[in-house]
Structure 1
Amino acid sequence: MQLFVDQLTNVDFSYLDAHRGIVGETWWASALLDGALDDEGMICDFGIVKKTLRNWLDLEVDHRLLVPVQSPALRLQNNGERVQLEWQLDNGEHIKMDAPREAVALVDAASITAQSVAQWCREQLRGQFPVNVEQLRLSFEPEAIDGAFYHYSHGLKKHNGNCQRIAHGHRSRIQIWLNDRRSAELEQEWAERWADIYLATEEDTIALNDGQYEFAYTARQGEFRLSMPASRCYLMNTDTTVEFIASHLAAVIKAGHPQANVKVKAFEGVNKGAIALR
């Protein structure tokens, strides 16, 4: 017998990729449990499944940087409290990060894929369900998007929760209207411009050397430092909340179309975001 929960929850995170760099991502998580029926005629109570998986994914995956520890592109130091890493991209560029240990997920895999993360999660979750549950099958998939979207990573130092982590991200839709008409052209333009982008706040920039931006700030969870190729960054003069992102996009688009009424609907992952009008 099998018990399934489709689209149980979604996770927002970033991961390291040898070609794309730091990639913001959003996945739906679904679960399939194999097992025998208990005395109540259940494999496992849905409440237990949802609570266990949601809590674990929120704690161990959501708003973290997923690091494939078996990759030859990685150099890693982990003392249990802080992680220092260097990631070599296949074009010779590099990324460095120094952050609290809780800001990363060290995934036992050579690369980050939906399949490798699901396998790692299943191993970590072993033994957390009733004994009659013989097997947990966890799967991840991105939101089905009909239209333009981009992957972005960022950090919000003023946030009291896990958004303060300097390298977490989202896969997000973008919708733009000029005079109440959707502009697929502008949506695609920004999707391409912000493909796999790191959105940074100017005041968090401490240096620009040899084409490499250095970012740093202190938040409640500790000190964060990140070094990124400048070509993969976009700087804003505000924090990078989705509200400021929508406002920034609307202002830039309005400057290019001064006679038009501009509306921007910027998403932060799945089914949430902000709207700005100009």
Structure 2
Amino acid sequence: MLLFVDNLINVDFSYLHPERGMLGETWLASTALDGALDAQGMVCDFGDVKKRIRHFLDTSIDHCLLVPALSANLTLIEQGEDIELTWHYSNGRTLRCRSPKQAIILIDTTEITRDSVARWCVDQLKPQFAASIASLTLSFAEESIDGAFYHYSHGLKKHGGNCQRIAHGHRSRIGIWRNGARDHALEQNWANRWQDIYLGSDEDLVAEGELLKFKYRSQQGDFELDMPASQCYMLDTDTTVEWLATHIANTLAHECPGDTIKVQAFEGLHKGAIVESKV
């Protein structure tokens, strides 16, 4: 008997890609369990399935940096409760990240993909279920977006939860209206500006050059990140979705004087902020 739960939870995180570097991502998780019926006539209680898997994904994937531990692009040093890694892009660029271990998840694979992460998750989850469960599967899917979107990573040091981690992110669509009419060209233009981007705050920047160096201390510990300058976009505010929507709207309003610009900025799946601006 097969028990399934579709669209169980979505996870927002960043991961390391050999060519593109650090990418913000959002996946939607579904699961299925194959097993015999118990005395209640169930394979497993839906509440238990959802609780266990949601907790695991919340603590092991969501708002983390996923790193392919078997990749030749990786240099890794564990120092006490911290991890310092260097990622060597295929084109010769590098990035460096140092953070508490809980913010970096090492996946036993050479490349981060939906399938490789799903297999790793199943290996961790299977022992948590009864022996009567013959098999457990997990799958990840991307949101179907008919239009412009971008991958962005950031850190929110003032956040009381896991958003404070310096390298987590989202795959986000964007809606832009100019004088009340949807403007797909402006949407795509902005998505191109922020393709595979790291959004940094001026107050976290400690050094500039070919690499921009970010550093801050938050409740979870000390965080450092060195990113290629070509993959960074700086803001003079924090990088909450509210400020991102404001920045996009104000920037486009100045580029289109006299026009009313409305921006719907998403933070991953089904959430975000809407701001209107005119100059």
Give TM class, smaller chain: over 0.9
CA distance in 2, matches of 1:255, 1:21: 31
Match of 2:247, SS state, is helix
What is the deviation of 1:80? 5.3
> Following superposition of structure 1 onto structure 2, how do residues 29-178 of structure 1 map, counting pairs within 5 Å?
29-79=29-79, 81-178=81-178
What is the deviation of 1:93? 0.4
CA distance in 2, matches of 1:260, 1:277: 11
Report what 2:235 is aligned to.
236
CA distance in 2, matches of 1:18, 1:110: 10
TM-score (ref. length: structure 1): 0.99
Report what 1:214 is aligned to.
213
Alpha-carbon deviations, 1:122-164, whole Å to 9, x = none?
1111211122111110000101111110000000000010000
Report what 2:225 is aligned to.
226
Q: Which amino acid is the alignment partner of residue 273 of structure 1?
A: G
What is the deviation of 1:258? 1.3
Match of 1:32, SS state, is strand
CA distance in 2, matches of 1:205, 1:79: 23
Match of 2:4, SS state, is strand
Q: Which amino acid is the alignment partner of residue 272 of structure 1?
A: K
Alpha-carbon deviations, 1:184-218, whole Å to 9, x = none?
00000111111110000011000013x11000000
Moved >4 Å (runs of 4+)? none
Report what 1:179 is aligned to.
179
Report what 1:266 is aligned to.
265
Alpha-carbon deviations, 1:227-260, whole Å to 9, x = none?
0000000000000000000000000000011111
TM-score (ref. length: structure 2): 0.98
* Equivalent residues, number: 277
CA distance in 2, matches of 1:261, 1:245: 17
CA distance in 2, matches of 1:42, 1:165: 39
Report what 1:247 is aligned to.
246
CA distance in 1, matches of 2:222, 2:156: 12
Report what 2:20 is aligned to.
20
CA distance in 1, matches of 2:80, 2:126: 22
CA distance in 2, matches of 1:246, 1:112: 29
Q: Identify the range of structure 1 (159-168 vs 128-137) with the bigger mean alpha-carbon deviation.
A: 128-137
Match of 1:214, SS state, is strand
Distance change in 2, residues 1:140/1:221 (3 Å): same
Q: Which amino acid is the alignment partner of residue 94 of structure 2?
A: H
CA distance in 1, matches of 2:176, 2:80: 44
Match of 1:126, SS state, is helix
CA distance in 2, matches of 1:161, 1:126: 27
Match of 2:116, SS state, is helix
Q: Structure 2 regions of 5+ residues with no counterpart?
A: none
Match of 1:131, SS state, is coil
